[in-house]
Structure 1
Amino acid sequence: MTAPTPPGLCGWPETAGERAVTAQDIEEDDACRSRYLRHLTGMLSKLTTVAPAAPVPRVIVQFWDNSSHIPADVQECMTSWSALEEQGFRREIYDDDSARSLINSQFGNAYTAAFDSCAHPAMRSDYFRLCYLARNGGFYVDADDFYQGTDWTPLFRDSRLRLQALCYDTATDTMVDPRQAMTADDQGDTFIHYVNNNPIIAPAGHPVVVTALEASTAALLAHPGGPLDIQSMTGPGNLTVALARHALHRQRSGQPVDVEVLLAWDTVAVSRWPLSYRGDERNWRLWSQQQ
């Protein structure tokens, strides 16, 4: 990791006299990236007239590692999305075997090997969603998200990539409502702004998803063994870096950033808690602590 970026260097918009922030700063300096993500969230959560033409497929994609043994409480969450089938969506549910088969047929041996190296179901879910969306596009949602029955149409009003904003406060070791974080971010040094990899609503081939997939594949194939950092290798950390690099490039090129950051995903779906699997090693957080 490079030395921390000097204070003020990642203020946004950039001011005259500052050294221009680089993609390397965004990738390697956690504080710089967080400040930039706060800027992006403020900018990309507003209404815009940008409306790329290519549609996002109305396909809901979900994953559980063993489709023959989905816990009843998880199944209830997954089935809640069937309400959208009457509104023109189809649902595709994958498990380890069907996900591996799709990756092998659409990407080949290297990507299949990367999937096989994911030691936990959460990693395989992370990696699979990037593969699926990079090639096919669609609407990926985690198996533990329960659909609230609200209007989904704003999420598909154009073909921008849509990601959920997240904010974590290191001082209190708690998540912060992203809407609150945008209006009351007085703890700039303790708030970490990033995006989740759930949901992901994407047209096929979106550069952020493709970049995240390539970075994840390279990291998995080069991993020397030992503990795996799910967040940075396949999860939200990896996707956040890809988003920041893409947005920085688009802004520097004078192009609109073809992404919407969602501040109120909880009005569409909620992650149910507790669920039975969260109490054992199927929960990636508990598994990570045991590595």
Structure 2
Amino acid sequence: MTAHTSPGLYGRPEVVGERAFTVQDIDDHACRSRYLRHLTGMLSRPVTAAPAAPIPRVIVQFWDDSAHIPADVHECVTSWTVLEHQGFRREVYDDDSARSLIGSLFGDVHTAAFDSCLHPAMRSDYFRLCYLARNGGFYVDADDFYQGTDWTPLFRDSRLRLQALCYDTATDTMVDPRQAMVSDGHGGTFIHYVNNNPIIAPAGHPVVVAALDASTAALLAHAGGPLDIQSLTGPGNLTVALARHALHQERSGQPVDVEILLAWDAVAVSRWPLSYRSDERNWRLWSQQQ
């Protein structure tokens, strides 16, 4: 098959191996990973022209019980207060305030989807999509500690900004995405995807809206049993939405209005260990007894 040659943002075709990437490939984990590697290489480069409409300078965070934020998490949350002196507003939501906002923004259907999120991590995942789809802004997880670095490159234009991630199935470890871009290709053990933290987005960005729509439908259709948080509300869901949007844009010869961040750790680090990570407040340790 002849490789498709739509210019995308940098004039490179969207190819998987020696053939064009197809919509059907998005549902294949290995093909989607290869396409995400292509996107990461393409969308992590500087651009000379990009949409200029401003992204709201509001920092949005979530902890399910705002009256009982652990001290070590509170330290992370408040590390961002320094930006209040640089033109940012901070909004910290919990289960009750997030549910109320979702109801006011969307109504009963989305409120029901939020209520079906059985773990706080899921509610956090779903809430951020709801908030950003309507309002735009800068969502960051409550366990990310701000490093005090220059934030202005993150707001230099109105592209959606997402963090690159890479996981090595052979070693069961995360890989620095910068290193993965130069070392991948030896054995096909790397999985390339994007995180749902941070999300820096203008209101109504197609990737965020599509991720919200997909998550809402999947949550309401879930028939019981174990929940795959990654694919229902988390990074897997957002990665699929990004891949679909980028493929459509490339095939249409339109810019992919996204920047993939390779060095988010220069801006913020996820503190480890934190007290909540050792119990079922950590979704990875959740027993899912329903």
Secondary structure of 1:68 counterpart? helix
Query: Corresponding residue for 2:37?
Result: 38
Query: Corresponding residue for 1:146?
Result: 145
Gaps of 5+ in 1: 1-5
What is the distance in 2 between the residues matched to 1:129 and 1:172? 31
1:183 Cα deviation after fit: 1.2
| Structure 2 letter corresponding to 1:189 | G
Secondary structure of 1:226 counterpart? coil
Query: Corresponding residue for 2:250?
Result: 251
What is the distance in 2 between the residues matched to 1:64 and 1:188? 39
* 2:41 equivalent to 1:21: no
1:187 Cα deviation after fit: 3.5
1:120 Cα deviation after fit: 0.1
TM score, norm. by length of structure 2 = 0.93
What is the distance in 1 between the residues matched to 2:108 and 2:289? 30
1:74-112: CA deviation from partner (whole Å, max 9, x where unpaired): 000000000100000010000000000000010000000
| Structure 1 letter corresponding to 2:163 | Q
Q: Is the 2:16–2:35 contact (alpha carbons within 8 Å) kept by the matching residues of 1? A: no
TM score, norm. by length of structure 1 = 0.93
- Map 1:57-206 onto structure 2 (within 5 A): 57-206=56-205
What is the distance in 2 between the residues matched to 1:285 and 1:72? 21
1:288 Cα deviation after fit: 5.1
Query: Corresponding residue for 1:3?
Result: none
Tell me: CA distance 1:79–1:185, structure 2 relative to 1, closer, same or farther (3 Å): same
Q: Percent of counterpart pairs with the same letter?
A: 83
1:1-35: CA deviation from partner (whole Å, max 9, x where unpaired): xxxxx9x99x96439984x4322221x10000000
Gaps of 5+ in 2: 5-11
Query: Corresponding residue for 1:229?
Result: 228
Q: Is the 1:50–1:258 contact (alpha carbons within 8 Å) kept by the matching residues of 2? A: no
Q: Is the 2:16–2:31 contact (alpha carbons within 8 Å) kept by the matching residues of 1? A: no
1:152-172: CA deviation from partner (whole Å, max 9, x where unpaired): 000000000000000000000
Count of residue correspondences: 282
1:32-87: CA deviation from partner (whole Å, max 9, x where unpaired): 00000000000000001232132100000000000000000000000000010000
What is the distance in 2 between the residues matched to 1:187 and 1:63? 39
Q: Is the 2:162–2:259 contact (alpha carbons within 8 Å) kept by the matching residues of 1? A: yes
Q: Is the 1:50–1:256 contact (alpha carbons within 8 Å) kept by the matching residues of 2? A: no
What is the distance in 1 between the residues matched to 2:278 and 2:13? 41
What is the distance in 2 between the residues matched to 1:81 and 1:15? 40
| Structure 1 letter corresponding to 2:180 | A
Secondary structure of 2:55 counterpart? coil
What is the distance in 2 between the residues matched to 1:58 and 1:190? 38
What is the distance in 2 between the residues matched to 1:56 and 1:278? 32
Q: Is the 2:14–2:250 contact (alpha carbons within 8 Å) kept by the matching residues of 1? A: no
What is the distance in 1 between the residues matched to 2:18 and 2:265? 41
Q: Is the 2:14–2:35 contact (alpha carbons within 8 Å) kept by the matching residues of 1? A: no
Q: Is the 2:16–2:34 contact (alpha carbons within 8 Å) kept by the matching residues of 1? A: no
1:225 Cα deviation after fit: 0.6
Q: Is the 2:162–2:200 contact (alpha carbons within 8 Å) kept by the matching residues of 1? A: yes
RMSD over aligned CA atoms reads 2.0
Tell me: CA distance 1:257–1:276, structure 2 relative to 1, closer, same or farther (3 Å): same
